[in-house]
Chains A and B, each alone.
Chain A
Amino acid sequence: MSGPGGLSALGATLTWAKLREVKCAELEEAADGWGRAGNRADAARDRIDTQLVDDLRRTQKGEASRAAVRRLRRLSMNFQYIYTECGLLRTTLNSLAHEMKAQQRVLQRALDDAAALKFTVHPDGSVTYPAAGEGLVDGKPLAGGRASGVPNPGLAGPSGLVAPNPNAAKAQDIADRVARAVRTAADVDWRYAKILRGLKAEDGLSVPTATWTDAAGDAAAVRQAAHGYLAQGIPHDASPAGRKAWWAGLTDEQREEYLAVYPDQIGNLDGIPALVRDAANRDNLQLLMGKLAGRDDGDAVTKLAALREIDRQLRAVREPGEPPMYLLGIGDQGNGRAIVSYGNPDASRNVAAYVPGLNTSLDEEFARGDLKRARDTAAAAREIDHSTAAIVWLGYDAPQSPDGLNSLAVASTERAETGAHAFRGFMSGLEASNDHGDPHMTAIGHSYGSRTVGAATQQGGGIPGVDDIVLVGSPGLGVDRAEDLGIGKDHVFVGAADNDVVTRLPSKEQGLLAAAGRALGPAGSLAVDVVHPGDDDLWFGKDPASEDFGARRFTVDPGPPLIGLGRVTLDAHSQYFNPKLDSASADSIAMVVAGRGHQVKQEGGR
């Protein structure tokens, strides 16, 4: 897209007179125009995605309707791209006007000072001043003169032969300020002309990946340029409630600009309403996919596959009764970030967040498996209470163990502590943005994620807003007693499959581990030789499924044995949420999530 080139000729020949006449209001009007165009594109995209495609898919079958859906998808992508680029153009123009106005103010103050002193500012920026002061010899006023401005006064040191006319220094100062304003404005003009020239689309109707890669670059350039104009306003240091209030206090125009230029920041800001985060992250998802498609390293390929799968799910047509998806966070930093909610977490009375653990990162397995856990949990909880949302929260770098459980042995608690801090921020944001006075909130930790949840309960005043905690497949959580989690031990629920080796690491049941050790010794994939003679002690403290821990233990299928059918399987560690493989466990988790934990079928500790 090409921007208006009105200012591009300014750079070479800019004078203070021209700078004074630049009509910034016109730039802002142009920006508003791009904003309106972008909004229309956004509305059109929305109409295609939520009405036309859905209706077509529901009512029509066959090749013709599939072809029509493909065409509509392409049209939708076109509108999405138009929306993104219009938003960038709008903010570029507003930011340009913002910076130009600043220089106009500097210039105007210098001109006002000159007028007050009765100095004359010449078209070339030099300043003449009248006679003043007293001569040392004859006492007559010293002759007037003319000062030329230096854009960079620091470089031109005083000569030591400065005329003693007191007006000379003042005139020099005014001339310098004029020169600086003109020079800075010329720089601004040059910078923005370059950005605007870059905001151009390829010819043709298709929006190939390369175009999104280009759009990601555009967004980065505009973000950098607009830093002073927009980014400083984002209240990163405020509380979630403060951020919610900040967003509520913005005008529609301001919100649109933040969403267009900083979807990455708004989308991941705890305290911002879920619908806003979702809209921002869906836009940022396209930019992130474009950015990663421009790289060909393994990390980018892995994350891109995950993002594409998430994008596919976001666009899929939902069956009646299925909870809708909200993208509450997305990012490519570290091992990748993704937060997906099934059900609107602001509108729901019950909100649960599941923290995944060992070996979780933003890859295709996460995008399929971990998202499904949240979706299944939401669906089962909604059988009990419609007003429920379940979230999968990958907001931290979970430990990775390419060599099986060996790495768990050396996994420190550092990532849990760091993750716990981020998780508390997220839950605090959910609490602030929820429409209900006191929503029922549940934290679910699986595997190392339970260690992260455990750490979060020990920081500050515990996990904000959380009423119930569910721990499944836990290697221990760094806390010895359920009551130490700070929510009452009757609100702590534990699921531990008999054959889940992670929940036995290294417990007193050494038989299983010893057997595993014998079977796997040569392969060396399991660190089973680390068994120490502790009683209920797991890696990270007391076994939460033990009697002594004092939590409510719910019934869980034992799962397939570690060594069965001639192969080693850790599947018993991964079916707690699965409504097909262990519906009793999945239903128990769902009942806690729906606020009916006291009605969960309990069994004794082990």
Chain B
Amino acid sequence: MTAVNNDAEFPAVYARTPDGFGVRLRIGGKGQAFFQVDTPCVRESAVADPTTKATAPLYEGEFIPRPNIHSDFWSAEAPEVGVTSGR
């Protein structure tokens, strides 16, 4: 574990192995989560587009919307401290 930010609104954890494998989890604006995994690649290579059909809306343009879908099961009813409800 290389760094932890325990901020209430934008918490984040960063971990890295000595040979360069890394994981990063960070909560951004309006509760959007960002997860990143790094491998110490020998060479940069583009990731191919998925070949299966998407089951959720695909977003175009400059700004991908923040979480904006309500689920009766998953969505919190009351906004948490420091987090604005996306509803």
Contacts and interface: CB of A to CB of B under 8 A. Distances in A.
Interface of A: 320-324, 382-386, 555, 557, 579-580, 583-584, 587, 591, 596, 599-601
Contact of B62 (A324, A384, A587): A324
Given A320-B61, A386-B63, A584-B14, A601 B7 contact: yes
Given A321-B59, A321-B64, A583-B22, A599 B9 contact: yes
B58 A320 contact: yes
Interface in B2-36: 2-7, 9-10, 12, 14, 16, 22, 24, 26, 28-29, 32, 34, 36
B31 to A, nearest CB: 11
B4 A583 contact: no
B36 A384 contact: no
A584 B62 contact: no
18 contacts: A320-B58, A322-B62, A324-B62, A382-B63, A384-B29, A385-B29, A386-B29, A386-B63, A557-B2, A579-B24, A580-B22, A580-B38, A584-B12, A584-B24, A587-B14, A587-B26, A599-B7, A601-B12
Nearest to B27: A383
Contacts of A596: 9-10
Contacts of B64: 320-321
Contact of A383 (B32, B59, B61): B32
Contacts of A385: 29
Nearest to B34: A383
A442 B12 CA distance: 22
Q: Which of B26, B38, B64 has the most CB of A within 10 A?
A: B26
Given A584-B3, A587-B12, 8 more contacts: A321-B62, A383-B26, A385-B29, A584-B12, A584-B24, A587-B14, A587-B26, A601-B7
B10 A599 contact: yes
A605 to B, nearest CB: 17
Nearest to B58: A320
B72 interface: no
A385 B66 CA distance: 10
A384 B9 CA distance: 10
A324 B60 CA distance: 13
Contacts of A580: 22, 38
A601 B4 CA distance: 8
A584 B4 CA distance: 8
Nearest to B5: A601
A322 B59 CA distance: 12
Contacts of A382: 63
Contact of B60 (A320, A583, A601): A320
A382 B31 CA distance: 13
Contacts of B24: 579, 583-584, 587
B10 A384 contact: yes
Contacts of B36: 579, 583
Contacts of A320: 58-61, 64
B2 A584 contact: yes
Contacts of B10: 384, 591, 596, 599
A441 B47 CA distance: 34
Contacts of B34: 383
A321 B22 contact: no
A375 to B, nearest CB: 13
Nearest to B8: A599
A383 B61 CA distance: 15
Contact of B28 (A322, A384, A579, A601): A384
B34 to A, nearest CB: 5
A596 B11 CA distance: 12
Given A321-B64, A324-B62, A555 B29 contact: no
Contacts of B16: 557
B26 A321 contact: no
A580 B37 CA distance: 9
A323 B62 contact: yes
Contacts of A601: 3-7, 12
Contacts of A323: 62
Nearest to A386: B63
B61 to A, nearest CB: 6
A583 B22 CA distance: 9
Nearest to A600: B5
A385 B24 CA distance: 19
Contacts of B2: 555, 557, 584
Given A320-B58, A320-B59, A583-B14, A383 B3 contact: no
A387 to B, nearest CB: 9
Nearest to A385: B29
Interface in B37-61: 38, 58-61
A555 B16 CA distance: 14
A321 B7 contact: no
A340 to B, nearest CB: 16
Nearest to B3: A584
B52 to A, nearest CB: 16
Contacts of A599: 5, 7, 9-10
A321 B29 contact: no
B72 to A, nearest CB: 27
A555 B3 contact: yes
Contacts of A322: 62
Contacts of A555: 2-3
Contacts of B63: 321, 382, 386
Contacts of B26: 383, 587
Contacts of A583: 14, 22, 24, 36, 38
Contacts of B14: 583-584, 587
Which A-B residue pairs are the 10 nearest by beta carbons?
Answer: A383-B28, A584-B3, A601-B5, A321-B64, A584-B14, A555-B3, A599-B7, A583-B24, A580-B38, A320-B60
B46 to A, nearest CB: 11
Contacts of A579: 24, 36
A324 B5 CA distance: 29
A416 to B, nearest CB: 31
